[in-house]
Structure 1
Amino acid sequence: MKYDDYLPVWDEKKAQRLRNGSRRCSWVPIAVAISVLLNVIFVFGPKKAIPSGNPQAPSLTALDNYQHLNSQPIVNAAFMSTTTPVNSNENMIVTSLYTDAFAPGVATLGHTLNKVNSSAGRLLLYLPEKISSRALCIATSTGFIPYPIKRIPPPYEGVHPHFLDQYSKLTLWSLDSLGVQSLVYLDADTLVQRNFDELFSVPFNFGAVPDVYIDEPGFTLGFNAGMLFLRPSSSVFERMVAQIGTANYRAEDAEQSFLNHFYGSEAVRLPYAYNANLAIKRRKPELWVDLKKEARVVHYTLVKPFLQGDYEEVEVTQLEKNVVGQYGAWGGLFKEELDDWAEAWRETLQLHGTMIAECRRGHYRV
């Protein structure tokens, strides 16, 4: 308007204040723009490492943000010196066999148990309608005692094809009928590196190791069912079988998902040393370096040294060649672990090769 600049002549001081205010107001949009720009840079700009001890630590799990801080052994030697020796009739190490293809894995697992001088008994759960006499003979060549079980079929559709027989693992809880008071279960794709008899002194009813995924969610509280500690109870077994078809859980992961729901907050989380899942090496290599110093059991989750293709059987004479053929998997990340398994297999052949050869010829001793 044409009177915008008009000021009364009788109030010169007020006029001066208005002129100054007008000049100040002209800087407001510039100040706002600068403020917005600085906030954008702060939020989206490159982040500097937060100094050690800063209370505003990175929002990662302690394992994703792994640091070598603690060198204390996992097991307290002074306490273990006060415990009673393991009774091989009451304390068992158990594995399972649902397909012939895993027989060399079971044999190698048995050898590594012998090598670390475990005092526990050995038991192999198997499905008689699915396992050949040849495979059972190979699997038991290193000390596992065969124990036929009845298959527990999946109660839901949508179970992963590799896990269709895995509900049969629940039979572990019925082994109190054999006088078993506690047991450690190991999948056939595991390798024992150190004695873990200390687990039989654990006072709890159930323990397992938290699971790990190579991507999200990464380290979790949910546990992996490839290694379990438990105290059998037939009444618990009956309750489990009655509930697998009524409980609400992810069907694809079969018994592992059910057990995570069944035990929920009551499951004791054991250290990763008792189920050193290869996914840890993929997820956090720095953690894996330290973990191997204490690892009792290595779990070959991402590569299966004794299998080819989609869980297909490998002829015994071709196992070492099969291991070499897997060197390139995952960019060669697991070559060292594959070599560890191959070395254990060679030792198995050196000590039990005669019996394994007899198994292959059809001279079964099971």
Structure 2
Amino acid sequence: MIDAPAGHAPRGERAYVTLVTNEDFARGAAALLRSLSLTGTEADLVVMHTAAVPDEALARLHARGARLVPVDLLPTSDAFNAAHARDRLHGNAPFTRGEKPPFHTPLDNFAKLRLWQLDYERVVFLDADTLVLRNSDALFDYPEFCAAPNVYESLADFHRMNSGVFTARPSRATFNAMLARLDAPGAFWRRTDQTFLQDFFPDWHGLPVFSNMLQYVWFNMPELWSWEQIRILHFQYEKPWQDHAKADRLRPLIDLWRAYEGDGPVPAPADLPRPA
């Protein structure tokens, strides 16, 4: 298991975990942490972070209740690293439905697997660009491995999972098995950790889409959007702290994220506008 700094022992057996690998994602994690705290959860809030995250960003996350756990990138081969470098990966597997931000570094995504080294019995992983709008502690009682389908354009997306939210059971044996499969000769994981995890857990259990509601549903599938049912909102592709071409279409969601990032009041989901 990962050795956390002295004085940062787990408080229990369950934890919400996110990964932060740069200052931008630390900004996202700050909003996520506040959203989790406002749900009243008693689970630990854990931020795995690499050395690339500035101290001042980490201090803000700690102030918002995070247990900070430093992690290294995985010990992958030079060939693996070259295949999954940003320019080469996006050249071989371009994104056609949305735009990844410039601070997105695909190789960093694999550090997510280090959660299987954590000293907890049960974990719910959340990408740093998510918000938890309602208490989601029931997810801890789901088995490993559960994730929601990658639905944001049509029902055809149901065959793929999205790794922004999933349930896991930390285990050294599982982590070692993952490393052995991850960097096999010629390995190429088209969507990094997402493709790998779907391959490693081929019988993954499906969570409701409301446990990982992707922001593009807002304008692509508005009939699926339900503030009354959404528990976790996920800002896939463009991030709410960026200036980007879809910002006007996503303005209500961006305003909600900014409310969580700040220290002021947060609107109740019932008071939020509905898709056009």
What TM-score bracket applies, with the shorter chain setting the length? 0.7 to 0.9
Q: Does 1:298 align with 2:237?
A: no
Q: Does 1:133 align with 2:71?
A: no
Paired positions, count: 236
Q: Does 1:280 align with 2:220?
A: no
* TM-score, normalised by the number of residues in structure 2: 0.78
Give the C-alpha shift of residue 336 in structure 1.
0.8
Superposed structure 1 runs of 4+ greater than 6 Å apart: none
Query: SS of the residue aligned with 2:233?
Result: strand
Give the C-alpha shift of residue 165 in structure 1.
0.6
Identity of paired residues, percent? 28
Residues 101 and 307 of structure 1 are in contact (CA less than 8 Å); yes or no, is this contact kept in structure 2? no
Q: Does 1:205 align with 2:136?
A: no
Q: Which has the larger radius of gyration?
A: 1
Structure 2 gaps, min length 5:
1-9, 87-103, 267-276
Residues 249 and 257 of structure 1 are in contact (CA less than 8 Å); yes or no, is this contact kept in structure 2? no
Q: Does 1:159 align with 2:84?
A: yes
Query: Of Structure 1 and Structure 2, which has the larger fraction of its residues in helix?
Result: 1
Q: Does 1:338 align with 2:260?
A: no
Residues 259 and 265 of structure 2 are in contact (CA less than 8 Å); yes or no, is this contact kept in structure 1? no
Q: Relative to structure 1, is the Cα distance of residues 164 and 254 closer, same or farther in structure 2, using a 3 angstrom cutoff?
A: same
User: RMSD of the alignment, in Å?
Assistant: 2.4
| Deviations 1:239-297, CA, capped at 9 Å, x for gaps | 10111012876533111111111101x21110011111112223211111x2x211111
Q: Relative to structure 1, is the Cα distance of residues 349 and 157 closer, same or farther in structure 2, using a 3 angstrom cutoff?
A: farther
Give the C-alpha shift of residue 224 in structure 1.
0.7
Matched ranges for 1:208-219 at <5 A: 208-214=147-153, 218-219=156-157
Residue equivalent to 1:115: 38
Larger relative contact order (CA 8 Å, sep ≥ 6): 2
* TM-score, normalised by the number of residues in structure 1: 0.60
Give the C-alpha shift of residue 213 in structure 1.
4.6
Query: SS of the residue aligned with 1:138?
Result: helix
Q: Relative to structure 1, is the Cα distance of residues 339 and 244 closer, same or farther in structure 2, using a 3 angstrom cutoff?
A: same
Q: Relative to structure 1, is the Cα distance of residues 184 and 231 closer, same or farther in structure 2, using a 3 angstrom cutoff?
A: same
| Deviations 1:109-166, CA, capped at 9 Å, x for gaps | 11111111011111110112x1221121122221111001121155254436231211
Residue equivalent to 1:172: 115
Q: Does 1:238 align with 2:142?
A: no
Give the C-alpha shift of residue 331 in structure 1.
7.2
